[in-house]
Amino acid sequence: SRRGDGHADLSYVYAAAREIVGALDGPAVIVTKSTVPVGTGDEVERIARELRPDLDIQVVSNPEFLREGAAISDFKRPDRVVVGTTGSDRAIAVMSQIYRPLNLNQAPLMFTGRRTAELIKYAANAFLATKITFINEMADLCEAVGAEVQDVSRGIGLDNRIGGKFLHAGPGYGGSCFPKDTLALVKTGQDHDAPIRIVETVVQVNDLRKRAMGRKIVKALGGDARGKKVALLGLTFKPNTDDMRDAPSLAIVQALEDAGANIVAYDPEGMDVAAPMMPSVTMAGDAYEAAQGADALVLVTEWDIFRALDLKRLATAMNGKALVDLRNIYPLNEATEAGFTLSRVGAAG
């Protein structure tokens, strides 16, 4: 959980530390896997020293870099394993032994200072969030000047110094990590009189973008959504999860409801979680049921099942022919051939 200022609610972390230390009967290494503000390990160590000054207890930061929906493969084949210690040979030996099986797969084990390890996690997520936000702003510029953001993304991503990952324009980032971690990093910078202006802007731009996607849908409806039926395909912040935390769909639904639209939605996994968060939205049994009688169809989350839809069947079921593809899944010629008027992100039409 987190407080309103973007920092984690550390009471749970400290309570867990007290519980662990209370159960110890010998030397130990306590490993923090959670993403926690810089300096949290120091406080955990203070708690350990206070409760059991008689024991050799080392506190290590070992942040995880696992993606939702791919956690097991990421654990087995990590890009790197970051271990932050205060220089204890015993802690380093213990952590090296724990990760020894992964070293057979050449996983780089990186030892740093404890505060450095805590900061690496935030810096990594903030940088990825910045890449997403950068290409999203490029998408807006592409629409304004008549360029294609997918080509811009490929053109810069083929530069090895930049790389193509996280350069897919869309409705903005969400989920459990990027919103929380960017806010926490911003707060840490402010607390230490070292403001991170780039990340501050990333947070602001991303928040505004989600609601702007709602306005994009209203524009596709001819500028008036009152009484119109809008079908949303996908609600979760990304595919292969039921996670609705800070999902762009939440802001999109709010913007559409404010504009007077009636909304029906379908998501392969997220409807049970989403339903209480958007009580006015009707949940459908599949994409085709959602499209029935709709004035606009909006692709919000790029689930694999949405990549192979029968566009002609969808268009036939609908009342209008507006297709708003917020993930740039569908080629313009295929959508047009099916009878749709396609709106994409970062492209004309």
Q: 214-270: per-residue pLDDT in tens?
A: 999 999 999 999 999 999 999 999 999 999 999 999 999 999 999 999 999 999 999
Q: Containing H/E element for 244?
A: none
Does domain 209-344 fall under CATH 3.40.50.720? My reply is: yes
Query: Counting beta carbons within 10 angstroms of the beta carbon of residue 232, is it exposed (0 to 12), middle (13 to 18) or buried (19 or more)?
Result: buried
Does residue 24 register a pLDDT over 60? Answer: yes
Average pLDDT in the 318-335 region?
96
CA 92, CA 108: separation in Å to the nearest integer? 14
Q: 3-state DSSP call for residue 104?
A: coil
Predicted pLDDT at 101: 85
CATH of domain 121-203: 1.10.1040.10
Q: Which of 177, 294, 323, 338 is catalytic?
A: 177
Predicted pLDDT at 5: 44
Evaluate whether 121-203 and 209-344 have a shared fold: no
Residue in 118, 111, 77 with CA at minimum distance from that of residue 96: 111
Q: Which two tokens stand for residue 10?
A: 């550390």
How much is the mean pLDDT over the chain? 94
Query: Counting beta carbons within 10 angstroms of the beta carbon of residue 129, is it exposed (0 to 12), middle (13 to 18) or buried (19 or more)?
Result: buried
CA 292, CA 294: separation in Å to the nearest integer? 6
Predicted pLDDT at 349: 59
**Strand (E) positions, the chain?**
28-32, 57-61, 81-85, 109-113, 229-233, 262-266, 282-283, 296-299, 322-325, 341-344
Domain boundaries 11-107, CATH class: alpha beta
pTM: 0.92
- Does residue 177 carry a catalytic annotation? yes
Contact between residue 114 and residue 85 where contact means Cβ atoms under 8 Å apart: yes
Average pLDDT in the 93-114 region?
86
Sequence letter at residue 36: V
Please spell the DSSP secondary structure of 23-81, one letter per residue. Answer: H--S-EEEEE-S---TTHHHHHHHHHHHH-TTS-EEEEE----PPTT-HHHHHHS-S-E
Residue in 170, 130, 116, 200 with CA at minimum distance from that of residue 299: 170
Which DSSP state fits 283? E
Q: In angstroms, what is the C-alpha Rg of the chain?
A: 23
Domain ranges, ordered by start, for the chain: 11-107, 121-203, 209-344
- Measure Cα distances from 130 to 123, 169, 172, 200, 317 in Å: 10, 12, 11, 10, 39
Does residue 1 register a pLDDT over 50? Answer: no
